[in-house]
Amino acid sequence: MDNTTTTATTLNNTTTTRPPSNPSPSIHFPLNLNHMNQQHDDHVDLRLNSNNDHRHQHRVIDEMDFFADDRTNKDGSHKQQACTDIDHQNMTTPPADHQSTHFNYVNTGLHLLTANTSTTDQSMVDDGSSPATDDTRAKNEIVMLRAEIERVDRENQELKEMLSHVTKSYSTMQVHLMTLMEESQKKDAHAQQQLHVKHRQEDKQQIEVGTSRLVQKQLVVDLGLVPASDIHDQQSLSSSENNEDGRSNSPPTNSEVASRLQMEEEAEITRREISMGMGREEEAVHVSPNKVPRFNPSKTNNADQAEATMRKARVSVRARSEATMITDGCQWRKYGQKMAKGNPCPRAYYRCTMAAGCTVRKQVQRCAEDRTILITTYEGNHNHPLPPAAMAMASTTSSAAHMLLSGSMSSTDGLMNPNFLARTLLPCSSNMATISASAPFPTVTLDLTQDPNAATQPPPNTIQSQFQNPSQNLALLPQLFTQTLYNQSMFSGLQMSQHRDSSLGPKQQGPLADSVTAAAIAADPNFTAVIAAAISSMIGNSHPINNITTNSSNSNGNNSGANIVSSSGIPEN
């Protein structure tokens, strides 16, 4: 941002009367093209010394950058910028090939002429040339400048083509990514169907054999209530049993095996996502008569640990709000309230009521030290369609779980590097996302409190800093949104790859995966929703998240009133 500001300032200094129409486009584009390291002098000198090709090129590119991002007027802006100088030099004779496009700038150029012409005039005076010579020189200069303009135009064109190419490539990749995701989803559905059928067949066989315990277990699988670890076990069992079923008569080829494994793996991941936060129902159904713990240490493997980690992974949002809860687009029902140790404010427990089977929960509690800060902790994944606003928040919890599952918990990269998340989330600004390694649950924390001197401190083992002031907080939002949106496809791709890698277990993923995953999480657009939700509550409780994102969720009547909370949901105490 500093670089951008510098550029704007330089231009303003150079062209003092340039219409203040376009400082804003400079905010974005220089981030994409790396010309911001140019000195101020480059801008000034280039403007005055058109015969310095090297420097001039820098100037041209910088100015290109400065306006190129203005997608509504980038073409015209380039030419306007490039032509301003020549217009200064030729006050009444703008180049014919640009005249049509620069009529808006003629007057401006007249005003900007002073500095440049003074220099030129001075040189002319120093030469002591006759008026005729001056005319010739001026004409030569005009010719040179026209040639320069043409060259600049060509460069502009090339750069525009490059930009267009990059944009197209990005769009293509995005489409490709979406296609892959759809295919993946289809595979998941297909794999689930196959597993369902297969398990039913196996159930029948086992019922005949009389293995009632396995029947019970697999019924749980069929109901989709089994934890991923058990699914994994089940799949292993099924895989081994596949050698005995009908299909095993013809040994599958390697590709078939690989394909099947991949499909089952994806199905497992899908189940894992669904089962995350299944909570009591799942346990109630699954617990064997012997009350064998589901995560028996004796048979715990990486997948089990990952599952346990995912189940408990949480996303916590700290935001200043006088409301009982931040609005996140979901319907919640309070099911409990407890006094937590060390905090005079009670902690309220909510569960999602948008679908019968959804067991997503959240805890809401005011900070003990600063009761204007509302701490909302989410756990689990929704298993039902959500309105856009709610979907964003819900995906965040899933994303957090994936991040933590990916090995960040075991890696110090993401946890112990104080600047890691900050660099990832907002490379040019302060930190707001933190990861807590404190037991018992891995937690991703978004701190949206505005007061850096708030008495509230993050729990031990957290990495955290805060926005320096509210204006900065809000001012950074657009950039944050841009950044997160830009990374959306990247994150999705990573998420998919994580799905596949997750079967390897955290230990088998390298530190790069850890870092990248954490980066993806931090850059996830879903975080935007969290931020938006928190910000919306900060800005005013009468402005729900929809004000920031979309009003489309109004259709289900769950926007500002989405969170059905009693007035005493969180006693102010």
Partner DNA sequence: CGTTTTTGACCGGCGC
Partner DNA sequence: GCGCCGGTCAAAAACG
Cis peptide leading into residue 440 (ω within 30°): yes
For DNA, the closer CB: 397 or 431: 397
C-alpha dihedral sign at 288, 291, 295, 297: negative
CB atoms within 10 A of CB 96: 8
Q: How far is the CB of 444 from DNA (least distance, A)?
A: 15
Contact 352, 386 (CB under 8 A): no
Tokens representing 240 are 């081994």
Residues 6+ apart with CB under 8 A from 437: 409, 415, 461, 462
Q: How far is the CB of 308 from DNA (least distance, A)?
A: 10
Q: How far is the CB of 229 from DNA (least distance, A)?
A: 15
DSSP string, 256-299: HHHHHHHHHHHHHHHHHHHHTT-HHHHHHHH--TT---TT-GGG
For DNA, the closer CB: 112 or 364: 364
For DNA, the closer CB: 223 or 340: 340
As a whole number of angstroms, the distance between CA 220 and CA 209 comes to 19
Q: Across the chain, how many H-helices and E-strands are there?
A: 20, 7
For DNA, the closer CB: 46 or 354: 354
* Helices (H), ranges, 420-464: 420-425
Q: Which residues in this chain contact DNA in the complex, by CB under 7 A?
A: 279-281, 293, 331-338, 340-342, 347-349, 351, 353, 361, 363, 439-441, 564-569
Tokens representing 288 are 């064997």
Q: How far is the CB of 64 from DNA (least distance, A)?
A: 54
Q: How far is the CB of 336 from DNA (least distance, A)?
A: 3
For DNA, the closer CB: 418 or 557: 557
For DNA, the closer CB: 349 or 486: 349
For DNA, the closer CB: 89 or 563: 563
As a whole number of angstroms, the distance between CA 191 and CA 266 comes to 8
As a whole number of angstroms, the distance between CA 543 and CA 541 comes to 5
Q: How far is the CB of 275 from DNA (least distance, A)?
A: 14
For DNA, the closer CB: 407 or 569: 569
For DNA, the closer CB: 111 or 338: 338
For DNA, the closer CB: 89 or 445: 445
For DNA, the closer CB: 348 or 548: 348
Tokens representing 416 are 């112990």
Integer angstrom CA distances of residue 50 from 46, 116, 126: 6, 11, 19
Q: How far is the CB of 280 from DNA (least distance, A)?
A: 3
Q: How far is the CB of 334 from DNA (least distance, A)?
A: 4
Residues 6+ apart with CB under 8 A from 303: 228, 229, 232, 502, 503, 505
Pairing status of strand 433-436 against strand 332-339: unpaired
As a whole number of angstroms, the distance between CA 529 and CA 545 comes to 8
Q: How far is the CB of 353 from DNA (least distance, A)?
A: 6
Q: How far is the CB of 340 from DNA (least distance, A)?
A: 4
Q: How far is the CB of 500 from DNA (least distance, A)?
A: 29
% helix, strand, coil for the chain, step of 5: 60, 10, 30
Pairing status of strand 443-447 against strand 346-352: unpaired
